[in-house]
Chains A and B, each alone.
Chain A
Amino acid sequence: MTRRFLASFAVIVTTLAPALGAQASPALTGTAKWADSASREIEAANAAGDFARLENAAAVLDRALTVTPNDRLLIYYRAFALYRMGGQYMGRKQNDEAKKALEESDRLLEQIEKIAPAGDALALRGGVIGQLIGLSGNPLAGMTMGPKASGLVDRAMELEPTNPRVWLIRGMSAMFTPKMFGGGTDKAERDLRKAAELFAAEHPVPPAPSWGHADAYIWLGQALQKEKRIDEARTAYQKALELQPGNMWVQQVLLPSLSTSKE
């Protein structure tokens, strides 16, 4: 049985990248190559707003984890896929499905935390818990779960202070956190600009996580839009489109929404 799994796994890592329609670094081998391909597929699917494609990437990661259940990178990308799915479910007002996806994502990220804490996984978990607070329906949930979410992001920041995704998630969290709890659009803008700056200088080595550069501008745009700084918001959205051409959310929702916002 073990030999059969190993054979299957060898097949996966040599063939999945083209199967997913993504380009992985040719130097990568093994789970690294596969994880890198999966991450690109998730991002492409998310940008295109193609839920089925996103769900399929998550499903393939789920299958692979039956062979190597303890692979941190695969767990991380499966959790990331579920995080993206949670966001899309929320956009469709399917809150029960969003909660299921985010809770499973939280469970997987907690698993990584137990194996060996890493900035990306800690920050993502903070973001996932933040989403779950919003879905809980209990206004006091933020009192108990909020410190846990921000504590995870803080730990991630201590661990990797120049990781742009940690700044990105901190900035996104600030957007949804009341000012009295340390949030607010001013803080969000500061963190998101810092994230964008760090993304510009980041050259991650595959299969390390590399997502988020466009997100930094998407969320920065929303923070600016909330502050009625429409021109700056438009610039941010356009920058996001430069980085991720064809991003459906930016093209079809965020940019058109600017026309109804007033300076």
Chain B
Amino acid sequence: MIAAVRRFGILLIACSAGRGAQAQPADGAPPGRIVRGVVRTSDARPIIGANVFVIETLDGVVTGEDGRFAIPVRVLGEVTLVVRRLGFAERRRTVGERDATDLVITLDASTVSLTAVVVQAGQYTASEERGATLTPLEVVTTPGTAADVNRAIQSLPGVQAGDEGTALFVRGGDFTESRVFLNDAGTLTPVQLQAPTGTFIGTVDPFLLDGIFFSSGGFGARYGDALSGIAALRTQGRPVRSSVTLSAGLAVLSGSVGMRVSPNLAVRAAGNRTNLQPMFRVNGSRRDYDPPPHGYDLSGSVIYTYRPSGEVKLFAIRQTNALAVGVEEASYSGDFSFDISGHHAIATWRDVFGVVTPTITAATSRFARSTDFGALLLGTTTNHAQLFAQTEWQPAAALVMRGGGELDRLDSEYDGTIPAFGYDVKPGARVTVLSSRRSGNRVGAFMEADWRPVSRGRVVAGVRTDRSTLTDERTVDPRVSGAWIAPRGITLTAAWGVYHQVPDPLYFDDSVSAGLPLGAMRAHQRILGAQVGEGDRMARVEAYDKRYDDLAQRTRDYDVIGDGTGRARGVDVFLKGHLALGITGRVSYSYVSSRRTDPDTRVVTRAPFDVTHTMTAVAERTIVGGLRASMAYRYATGRPFTPVTGSLYDGTRQVFVPEYGAAMSERLPAFRRLDLSASYFRPVGSTLQTVAFVSVMNILDRENAQSFRYSPDYSTRHLVPSLFERSVYFGGTITWLKENR
């Protein structure tokens, strides 16, 4: 041992001699072999500054301008030579006692060479953290997104453009199969959130958020009750400085305050008042609204940091939205009106005790909606209570264990009437009367290991189990995903997993399901992918295969059927980088083939959201100083629909009964839209900053299709245009920042 100590000490003296040192045995050291060689790039250029060392002794040198190294090796047997350099992938080589000394070590360029493996299959993040796919700035400045978080997520690969709404149709799945989490608490996405202008889901103001995590599939065991995708949003923490912000735009008035009450306590409050009437007045509208979409949201948070690692955060938000729009159906023309209100309150506690990080979240939310269109007159109230707890334990640098559970209670009340036949919605038509209350409790537990067995690899494996009183069955979902940084800096990813989701409580009402027993819906996902680069220069490709079983679906007559099956396969591509002339850009492309049981014919055919090609291209450039311009182009294959091929007149009910063609045999015209936006940032004095912005949506004024409507006898059909014709939107923001003391 003493001899070993002496030997190693001498080697370290040698290794400290500086760059490119040609180590020589020191006095008193036993003679030994010297490993010599050169480190170079794949095109044979020497690499300067590479850290070359023998891992058994940590003896090494830093290469000089010629890339050469010479390291005395004073242990017997094989040794492992490690070569590391920022910007290159690490290379290890086993060197035997008789190996030649003229080693040539080739390093492959990589932006992730020494960083932890942060890429996982299907995952995208928007934050300032390394590895993020989008930054918050990109979220709010992407043209055409109207600073909406969901619309920004729609610009990522794997999300199909179902319509111009904000719903997330992920990898060939319905939007109800994706869940949004806010500070670990799931938000309500009831199945009825379908407006005549497309899917509609209230989202949180992006300025309230400091992190967005989106997974288009392959997500871990922590997330339950979702078949396709998840978006996890994190609200802002303590403000760095107290501030007041006021914004005014053509459709929105808003204000926010962030204040540090004491070193440990901070509060935030924000309010938005939305009314699209001024926007329609300036730009006109293809649809008749009375009243136009309007609403407000109020939110507030209190953040208490009782010690550097411990935080309690309370966040609450109340949102309302209402509109009435003229809708022409074959059997009835009139105003479709709906009114939505809801609130959400979340309390989160998080702390770090050495290697243990516990988190507890308690949340309650309430959602009420009333819908009025002819014979459809339905009020829905949903109360949701959740308790989520998770503990992270890091027993070793390369291993994180997570375990936790959740309790989830959903109470839904339905009161009103829905048409007995989807083709006859006029007032006085035959209806199904609903007056019921459904409650469902779900208990879930999960365990997950996040292991980095080697510096270039990462495996996340876990299992979760859930039991719902609605389905009265227990599900078990094993999930695993892996990533490995291969030579040349390519990160290879793969994921496999089973996912379950409980159908909407309404589906369990006897009046629509006729007592049909429904189980949890199931999806089986497999993903393979590769990524090169990260941050502002990256390319990513993923292929996936999803199989669905036990799907619960609604027919056009509002009946519920079970045992639906389906399959979605596709490829997603994401490119991000710098173009010429200082332009940065990103392109998302998704190809999908999505087939599932048609609930009306029970035939497996195209899914209603089988949008074969979806592409979003965004280009941005700083013109000068604080002036920035961006452009986005979106293309999507038209959605499939089942055409009406004829009709018969029912004299008794005085309505034409449509005859349908083959299920999902036709498509709407393709969707195309070009949006432009520009913003100008200018400080005024030492404590004020202003931002002015203008955007032109659908600059080519293309008439995209929302759907088709038919004449009363179904002999002719007309295109129903989507919401956005060419529209100008402008506004400004002023922020007052408190002087730092």
Contact = CB atoms under 8 A, between A and B. Distances in A.
A121 B372 CA distance: 59
Contact of A144 (B1, B13, B128): B128
Nearest to A179: B686
Given A60-B16, A101-B86, A14 B5 contact: yes
Contact of A116 (B135, B238, B352): B352
Contacts of B57: 8, 11
Contact of B135 (A100, A144, A178): A144
A44 interface: no
A25 B308 CA distance: 30
B128 A18 contact: no
B547 to A, nearest CB: 37
A18 B13 contact: yes
> In this complex, which of A56, A151, A178 has the most chain B Cβ atoms within 10 angstroms of its Cβ?
A56
B19 A52 contact: yes
A62 B87 CA distance: 15
Interface in A54-77: 55-56, 59-60, 62-64, 66-67, 69-70
Interface string B248-273: 00000000000000010000000000
B8 A12 contact: yes
A189 interface: no
Question: Contact size class for B?
Answer: 35 or more
Contacts of A144: 128, 135-137
A8 B355 CA distance: 26
Contacts of A150: 240-241, 740
A63 B60 contact: yes
Interface in B26-68: 49, 51, 53, 55-58, 60, 62
A69 B17 CA distance: 24
Contacts of B352: 114, 116-117
> In this complex, which of B241, B308, B352, B689 has the most chain A Cβ atoms within 10 angstroms of its Cβ?
B308
B9 interface: yes
A145 interface: yes
A148 interface: yes
Nearest to B264: A158
Given A69-B397, A182-B740, A107 B130 contact: yes
Interface in A148-166: 148, 150-151, 154-155, 158-159
Contacts of B240: 147, 150-151, 154
Interface string A1-35: 00010011011101110111100000000000000
A180 interface: yes
Nearest to B50: A59
A148 B128 contact: yes
Contact of B686 (A20, A64, A140, A180): A180
B128 A56 contact: no
A38 to B, nearest CB: 10
Given A103-B130, A143-B137, A180-B689, A116 B9 contact: no
B685 A140 contact: no
A55 B20 CA distance: 11
B72 to A, nearest CB: 14
A114 to B, nearest CB: 8
A59 B51 contact: yes
Contacts of B15: 19, 56, 60
B86 A100 contact: yes
Contacts of A106: 130
A53 interface: yes
Contacts of A12: 8, 12, 58
A139 interface: yes
A151 B305 CA distance: 13
A176 interface: no
Interface stretch (B373-381, B586-594, B621-629): B621-629
B683 interface: yes
A14 B137 contact: no
Given A63-B51, A67-B58, A182-B241, A140 B12 contact: no
Contacts of A182: 241, 737, 739-740
Interface residues of A, number: 59
A55 B128 CA distance: 28
Contact of B263 (A7, A56, A116, A158): A158
B687 interface: yes
A56 B15 CA distance: 8
> In this complex, which of B17, B51, B685 has the most chain A Cβ atoms within 10 angstroms of its Cβ?
B51
Contacts of B73: none
B16 A11 contact: no
Contacts of B398: 69
Interface in B154-197: none
Nearest to B681: A140
A16 B60 CA distance: 13
A229 interface: no
Given A12-B58, A62-B51, A158-B308, A56 B18 contact: yes
Contacts of A63: 51, 53, 58, 60
A14 B649 CA distance: 97
B82 interface: yes
Interface string B724-741: 000000000000010110
A228 B263 CA distance: 36
A103 B84 CA distance: 16
Nearest to B740: A182
Contacts of A139: 622, 625-626
Nearest to A147: B240
Interface string A97-111: 100110110110010
Nearest to A145: B128
A152 B413 CA distance: 47
A180 B53 contact: no
Contact of B58 (A53, A64, A140): A64
Contacts of B86: 97, 100-101, 104
Given A62-B51, A143-B681, A182-B739, A7 B1 contact: yes
A19 B397 CA distance: 28
B114 interface: yes
A10 B5 contact: yes
A110 B626 CA distance: 30
A187 interface: yes
Contacts of B670: none
B309 interface: yes
Contacts of A52: 18-19, 62
Contact of B622 (A15, A19, A140, A151): A140
A20 B15 CA distance: 9
Given A14-B5, A140-B681, A100 B60 contact: no
B203 interface: no
Nearest to B53: A63
B58 A15 contact: no
A260 interface: no
Given A100-B87, A107-B115, 19 more contacts: A15-B8, A15-B13, A20-B16, A53-B18, A56-B19, A60-B12, A63-B51, A70-B396, A97-B87, A110-B130, A116-B354, A117-B309, A140-B137, A140-B628, A140-B681, A150-B241, A158-B308, A180-B683, A184-B686
What 5 A-B pairs have minimum CB-CB distances, sorted nearest first? A15-B9, A11-B8, A182-B740, A52-B19, A59-B51
23 contacts: A7-B4, A12-B12, A15-B5, A19-B16, A52-B62, A56-B15, A56-B62, A59-B51, A63-B58, A69-B397, A69-B398, A97-B87, A100-B86, A103-B130, A114-B352, A116-B309, A139-B626, A140-B622, A140-B628, A143-B681, A150-B241, A180-B683, A180-B684
Interface of B: 1, 4-5, 7-9, 12-13, 15-19, 49, 51, 53, 55-58, 60, 62, 82, 84, 86-87, 114-116, 128, 130, 135-137, 238, 240-241, 263, 308-309, 352, 354-355, 396-398, 622, 625-626, 628, 681, 683-689, 737, 739-740
